[in-house]
């Protein structure tokens, strides 16, 4: 755990894009498309779901609209207030720390952990909690920032995430975009170590090669999707985001075969 880091409270007020409902619901469409393929079922009705880092609740609500029994958890109190006001009739929102989730062991069939790990103080501790509250045959969806992505996604600065913390702080401060660079990301290999104890399937290449199927046309330009799969595969170490599905049990994707299917991460 980094001793000089503190939790990012009220993140929806620090990062206005968290309140962009249209963009957040597009992310939810992608999440649901990946989950449906992995689970091999279009109807997700009745599955117990948790959106970790739910903020204003748009993804948690989209899960509820898809039939899941949806919960959201965050430490972002302004975001949670917005979420409860709009969606509290169909989603249970809870203020809670990811390292101490207020749920019994094995509660959830589906957990969504989408672009959250780089913001938390102790991601390994949070991942251990996700494993605890995931059902034995449950599924963990992961959207994971790659440290080696050339353009840092939060501040859109080239190679920001490559730098050690002191230099990253100076860079982001000189850019005028923040006083401090809080985020801490990992490479593909570091992410796999973070998820030790899970079976992990990599959906990054399937999403890149078939963005229509996986509702990702907003993040995968057509010119990228048209690149030969071998080229995209070679670029995987530096793609900005990995899309992984993790399980406690040794499961395989249940959906139809794809030209470029998910592989073991």
pTM for the model stands at 0.95
pLDDT of residue 3: 53
Lowest model confidence (mean pLDDT) among 3-17, 72-86, 175-189, 214-228? 3-17
Tell me which residue of 134, 124, 141 sits closest to 241, measured CA to CA: 141
pLDDT band for position 1 (cuts 50, 70, 90): very low
Which residues lie below 8 Å from residue 39, measured CB to CB, with a gap of 6+?
A: 139, 254, 255
191, two tokens: 């992410």
Which residues lie below 8 Å from residue 138, measured CB to CB, with a gap of 6+?
A: 106, 108, 109, 110, 111, 247, 248
Question: Which CATH fold would you assign to the domain 11-147+186-251?
Answer: Rossmann fold (3.40.50)
The secondary structure of residue 150, as a DSSP letter, is: S
C-alpha–C-alpha distance, residues 239 and 145, integer Å: 9
- Per-residue pLDDT of 120-141, as tens digits, reads 999 999 999 999 999 999 999 9
Residue with tokens 């949070």: 126
C-alpha–C-alpha distance, residues 227 and 119, integer Å: 32
Q: Give the whole-number percent of the chain exceeding pLDDT 90.
A: 88
- Per-residue pLDDT of 211-240, as tens digits, reads 999 999 888 887 888 899 999 999 999 999
Average pLDDT over residues 31-35: 98
Where exactly are the structural domains of the chain? 11-147+186-251
C-alpha–C-alpha distance, residues 99 and 127, integer Å: 8
The secondary structure of residue 138, as a DSSP letter, is: E
Please state whether beta strands 48-52 and 69-74 pair in parallel, antiparallel, or not at all (unpaired).
parallel
The secondary structure of residue 227, as a DSSP letter, is: S
């Amino acid at each position: 755990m980094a001793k000089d880091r503190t939790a990012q409270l009220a993140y929806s007020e620090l990062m206005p894009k968290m309140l962009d409902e249209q963009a957040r619901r597009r992310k939810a469409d992608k999440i649901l498309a990946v989950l449906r393929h992995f689970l091999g079922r279009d109807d997700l009705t009745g599955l117990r779901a948790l959106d970790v880092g739910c903020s204003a609740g748009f993804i948690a609500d989209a899960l509820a609209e898809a039939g899941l029994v949806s919960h959201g958890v965050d430490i972002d109190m302004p975001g949670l207030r917005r979420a409860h006001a709009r969606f509290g009739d169909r989603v249970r929102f809870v203020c809670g720390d990811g390292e101490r989730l207020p749920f019994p062991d094995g509660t959830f069939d589906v957990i969504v952990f989408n672009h959250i790990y780089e913001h938390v103080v102790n991601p390994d501790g949070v991942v251990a909690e996700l494993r605890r509250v995931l059902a034995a045959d449950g599924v963990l969806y992961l959207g994971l920032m790659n440290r080696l992505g050339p353009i840092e996604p939060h501040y859109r600065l080239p190679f920001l995430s490559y730098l050690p913390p002191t230099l990253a702080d100076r860079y982001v401060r000189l850019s005028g975009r923040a006083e401090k660079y809080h985020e801490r990301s990992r490479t593909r290999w570091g992410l796999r170590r973070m998820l030790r104890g899970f079976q992990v399937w990599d959906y990054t290449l399937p999403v890149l090669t078939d963005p229509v199927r996986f509702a990702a046309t907003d993040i995968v330009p057509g010119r990228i999707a048209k690149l030969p799969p071998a080229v995209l595969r070679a670029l995987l170490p530096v793609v900005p985001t990995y899309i992984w599905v993790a399980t406690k049990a040794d499961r395989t994707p249940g959906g139809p075969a794809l030209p470029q299917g998910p592989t073991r991460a």
